[in-house]
Chain A
Amino acid sequence: MAALTISAGAWGAGQDTTLEAGTMAARLAACTACHGEQGKAGPDAYYPRLAGKPATYLYNQLVHFRDGERTYQPMHLLLRTLSDDYLREIARWFSEQRPAYDAPAVARVSPAVMQRGQKLALEGDRAIGVPACVACHGQQLMGAEPGVPGLLGIPRDYIASQFGAWLTGMRNAKAPDCMKDIARRLTPEDVAAVAAWLAAQPVPEGAGPAPERTRPLPLECGSQPVARVTQEVQP
């Protein structure tokens, strides 16, 4: 419970801006209360940045929260009566926001751990069948259109907990779920190392998702690039 408590300060800050009914900022106050104004990220590790991520990635996550592939009750309760069309609009709005990034956290791990993290992120580890993060998430690690999220500007604990969520089945993507496969191949130490290294990287000025790639990915991923979430349950 304590882990999920967010500071009232962030909420107070959100209210400094007057909400004007009918604007997307006003419609989506339910999102930005936790994820920060314009989706710039919450004040702690639990509410990731939404701003500037590829729209299809965000849309897939919204659909998964609504329909239960990703298990998080507060998100499910918010989204359960929202249409695919509206979720697409919400995803697009957040993907177009460009609020400034906070400075990366100072890494409190040993140089050896950072070295291991850097190797996994930039080169991968052939011995355990793990490709480099940059192979899919873009050379700048800012994601790639249409469905691969950026990895910078995200707290270490959030990144690490996503690997746990893949292992426990709390987080799923369209099959083949490539990140679930990668999560199974990494040790907890590897996860800690790559999360620490990623969280310590500054975000390049003006950086955004890389364009859609034409070459196949090192692993087959259901959400990229061809097989997007297409299931429509509305009659």
Chain B
Amino acid sequence: MSRTGRMLLAVVVLLALVVGVAMWYGARESHQGAGAAAADFSDPGLIERGRYLAQVGNCMGCHTAPGGAPYSGGRAIPTPYGTFFGPNITPHATTGIGNWTADDFWRALHDGKAPDGTLLYPVFPYPTYTNVSREDADALYAYLKSLPPIDRPNREHEVAFPYNQRWLLSLWRAVHFRPGPLDPVPDQSEQWIRGRYLVEGLAHCAECHTPRTRWGGLDRSKHLQGGIIPGQDWYATPLTGDPVTGLGEWSADDIASLLKSGLSTRSHATGPMAESVYWGYQHLTDGDTEAIAAYLKSLPAADLESRGRQGTQAGASVLELGRQVYEQHCAQCHRADGRGEPGAWPPLAGNPSVVADSPINAVRVVLDGGFAPATTGNPQPHGMPPYRHVLNDAQVAAVVSYIRSAWGNRTGAVSLPEARRIREDSR
């Protein structure tokens, strides 16, 4: 064998070894908490606890199609890698999870694996659910087992090569998956510990509010610093303590109010967050809501504002057009001073979705309008009309640039091509 041949062989062998080790590492299991299954899964207290936890995690958000039987699957979840369809998790023996054991369920939640060891796609947020305790996993299992079994076959995910090669997930996991539970943090209150457990577990805030790497993993160096939700084209605002774009100026009550009612004096839940509140967070107990708020309020600022695009202001003629559009269409509810009307119409001054670095939320709300979620705390929300058919791209860009620079807001302009792209992507 020639020298080049030998070198090539060595490289191939080395590469195979690295890939092999990575695959083994990625597919490993932590075994932490395994075998600690609850004694009686028909215990009504356990089932009720599971029902509550399933709401906190908004399991229906992915596992229930619009108008479909609860938890029977079928909801389409668009991602950059293809469209996934939430599976049936009712206890039907063949189309649901009726044959799963509590250990199987735990393994899915904690290790991201199906009962036969198949690696699950991380569109199921197991990289976050891995922090859920065995006790809570058992409660969820007990609740799901108590549901009526629905005979609804799962729909194949529409995922193209190479993402349809599930074995590749072992490599992805080697880089992006760290099995739970969370490391203990000393000297924190019980409330903080509870809040952290929910935020970093079932409430799976990071799955939207943490930006993703090129390969779709959570970028843990920017934990909860806000990011574009892949496949949905909405921007999840930072939950860090940054004063303008994050929660720095919010009180714990503001946070709790948004989670429970969908409204706060600073912003209303819109887009995917409106769904999370509607199906999930509005059902949180007061204690858990306060715990989440306390934990989020403890997150330090991440110095996001010095890195934003403040300063790139629109020209005077654009802002004048924006002001005219605002006066004609927006001021009646959001008021001339951009402060809105508490309980009815959200403020635009200082609203994180308005002053966010990304203009996606503001543009999309202008285009499609929307209602705050109907909740126990706000059962008959006020709605905003869609303007997709009323305003052209130049008017949308102008009015969004205007609200991003009026009343003390200091975020940059949105350009006409940007407004056009958001309109086309969100059609």
Q: Do A and B come from one complex?
A: yes
Please report A residues at the B interface, Cβ cutoff 8 Å: 4-6, 8, 11-12, 15, 18-19, 21-22, 24, 26-31, 33-34, 63, 66-69, 73-74, 77-83, 85-86, 89, 231, 233, 235
Shortest CB–CB separation between residue A198 and chain B, in angstroms?
Answer: 26
Point out the residues of chain B lying under 8 angstroms from A26, CB to CB: 333, 344, 382
Shortest CB–CB separation between residue A169 and chain B, in angstroms?
Answer: 15
Q: Is the CB of B66 within 8 A of A74?
A: no
Candidates A27, A63, A67; contact of B380 at CB < 8 Å: A27
Chain A proximity mask over B369-400: 1 for CB below 8 Å, otherwise 0: 11111100001111111101110000000000
Q: Is the CB of B66 within 8 A of A78?
A: no
- Contact of B368 with A by CB under 8 A: yes
Q: Is the CB of B328 within 8 A of A15?
A: yes
Nearest CB to that of B262 among chain A residues?
A: A81
- Contact of B106 with A by CB under 8 A: no
Chain A proximity mask over B56-68: 1 for CB below 8 Å, otherwise 0: 0000100010111
Known: A28-B383, A67-B66, A235-B55. Contact between A82 and B332, CB under 8 A? no
Total contacting residues, chain B, CB less than 8 A: 41
A-B contact count (CB 8 A): 112
Q: Is the CB of A34 within 8 A of B385?
A: yes
- Contact of B129 with A by CB under 8 A: no
Nearest CB to that of A14 among chain B residues?
A: B385
Q: Which 7 A-B residue pairings sit nearest by Cβ, starting from the closest?
A: A30-B383, A67-B67, A33-B385, A21-B344, A81-B373, A81-B278, A83-B374
12 A-B contact pairs sorted by A residue (CB < 8 Å): A4-B389, A11-B390, A27-B380, A29-B383, A34-B386, A67-B66, A77-B368, A77-B370, A77-B386, A79-B371, A82-B381, A85-B374
- Contact of B108 with A by CB under 8 A: no
Chain A proximity mask over B29-63: 1 for CB below 8 Å, otherwise 0: 00000000000000000000001000100001000
- Contact of B341 with A by CB under 8 A: yes
Please report B residues at the A interface, Cβ cutoff 8 Å: 51, 55, 60, 64, 66-70, 262, 274-275, 277-278, 328-329, 332-333, 341, 343-345, 368-374, 379-386, 388-390, 427
Q: Is the CB of B383 within 8 A of A235?
A: no
Shortest CB–CB separation between residue A18 and chain B, in angstroms?
Answer: 7
A231 to B379, CA, bound (A): 19
A21 to B70, CA, bound (A): 35
Known: A12-B328, A21-B344, A78-B371. Contact between A233 and B68, CB under 8 A? yes
Q: Is the CB of B66 within 8 A of A27?
A: no
Point out the residues of chain B lying under 8 angstroms from A89, CB to CB: 380
Q: Is the CB of B344 within 8 A of A82?
A: no
Point out the residues of chain A lying under 8 angstroms from B389, CB to CB: 4-6
Nearest CB to that of A31 among chain B residues?
A: B383
Shortest CB–CB separation between residue A23 and chain B, in angstroms?
Answer: 10
Point out the residues of chain A lying under 8 angstroms from B368, CB to CB: 74, 77-78
Nearest CB to that of A22 among chain B residues?
A: B344
Assuming A8-B390, A21-B341, what are 7 further A-B pairs, CB within 8 angstroms?
A: A15-B328, A19-B333, A24-B380, A26-B344, A30-B386, A78-B368, A233-B69
